[in-house]
Structure 1
Amino acid sequence: MKIDICCVGKIKEAYYKDAIKEYVKRLSRYTTLNILEVADEKTPDGISETAQIQIKDKEGERLMSKIKEEAYVIALAIDGTKKSSEKMARDLERLTIEGKSHIQFVIGGSLGLSNQVLKRADAKLSFSDLTFPHQLMRVILLEQIYRSFRIIHHEPYHK
């Protein structure tokens, strides 16, 4: 299985970079993992809803250039389905059994994902009703993917 994390913006904080590096290393024994970054747009405070949509659309076009036609796309969205770690593991295992060998998770920028990206997604996943910084969301997602593989392989993991 090949997994891509398609995301907006670069990680600047060393502690996020270190955590991401650690999970990429841990996941290397289970899957081929790539992190595909696209440029983010500057988002000034107090911008109009129209300007927010334009920013999401620009970032969305960049994300769409990374999304492969054959990939199974899972968009991280606050209105997505919430799952337990065990359910996420079962779903990843089921996708593999169904022949989905390329999965792409998509994380939007600070304003979220464009409608174009959300329409392309095969599934929408939510980790919480809470809002997290999109940089932190990468770490959380990688941890949950790693946990899923541990569950799939019947290996111990912290509950």
Structure 2
Amino acid sequence: MKINVVSIAKPEKGCYAELCERFAKMSGRFATLDSADIFNAKVTRAQESSPQKAKEVYAQLFAPWMKKGYTVALDPAGKKVDTDAFARLMEDRNEITFFLGGAYGHGNDFLRGCDSVISLSPLTMSHKVAKVVLFEQIYRALTILHNHPYHK
């Protein structure tokens, strides 16, 4: 299985990145987990312009990944799933791509273009924390799918 995590964010070098790398490495027993952080001058200009423009730019930057397997947008208004449902979402997939939006989230057109839209939590959290939670849940789901005891 190939898992992609794509986010509108500046590349992180601190403790959050270390945690994501640790979960990616542990996931390597079961799948390939790759991460791409996208942030450039176009994002900065769009975010300074308006939330709508920012969402349009995010969607443009995500476009190359939209054909990479089953696509899942993370959005606070998305479907609430527990860990078992999250694991079932990943089950029997050859490739899955998760999208973390920028400061203004995702546009409605982008969300409609994804195969699934889920929420990690009703809590508001920074993108860095959300990414760590996502990486941990991916690892946990993989252990559930492979009957590994981590999830117990």
Please, what TM-score do these two structures have when normalized by structure 2? 0.88
Partner residue in 1 for 2:148: 155
Q: What residue number does 1:76 align with? A: 74
SS at match of 2:134: helix
What root-mean-square deviation, in Å, do the aligned CA atoms of Structure 1 and Structure 2 show?
Answer: 1.8
Q: CA deviation at 1:65?
A: 2.5
5+ residue gaps, structure 1, are none
CA offsets 1:11-63 (integer angstroms, 9 cap, x no match): 3351111111101111111101111222252345xx7xxx1110111122101
Misfit runs of 4+, over 6 Å: none
Contact 1:60 1:114 in 2 (8 A): yes
* 5+ long unaligned stretches in structure 2: none
Cα offsets for 1:85-113 (capped at 9, x unmatched): 122112322xx1xxx31111111011101
Identity of aligned residues (%): 30
Q: Is the 8 A contact 1:6 1:63 kept in 2?
A: yes
The answer to whether the Cα contact below 8 Å between 2:23 and 2:136 also exists between their aligned partners in 1 is: yes
SS at match of 2:104: coil
Alpha-carbon distance in 1 for matches of 2:14, 2:39: 19
**Separation in 1, partners of 2:88, 2:51:** 36
* More deviation, 21-30/81-90: 81-90
> Which residue does the alignment assign to 1:119?
112
Deviation of 1:138 (Å): 1.1
How many residue pairs were aligned? 148
TM-score by length of 1: 0.84
Query: Which residue matches 2:83?
Result: 85
Residue of structure 2 in register with 1:19 after alignment: 19
Structure with more of its chain in helix, by fraction: 2
Using the alignment, how far apart are the partners of 1:114 and 1:64 within structure 2?
13
Given the superposition, is the C-alpha separation of residues 62 and 31 from structure 1 closer, same or farther in structure 2, using an over 3 Å criterion? Answer: same
1:105-116 → structure 2 map (5 Å cutoff):
105-116=98-109
Query: Is residue 11–residue 37 contact of structure 2 (8 Å, CA) maintained in 1?
Result: no
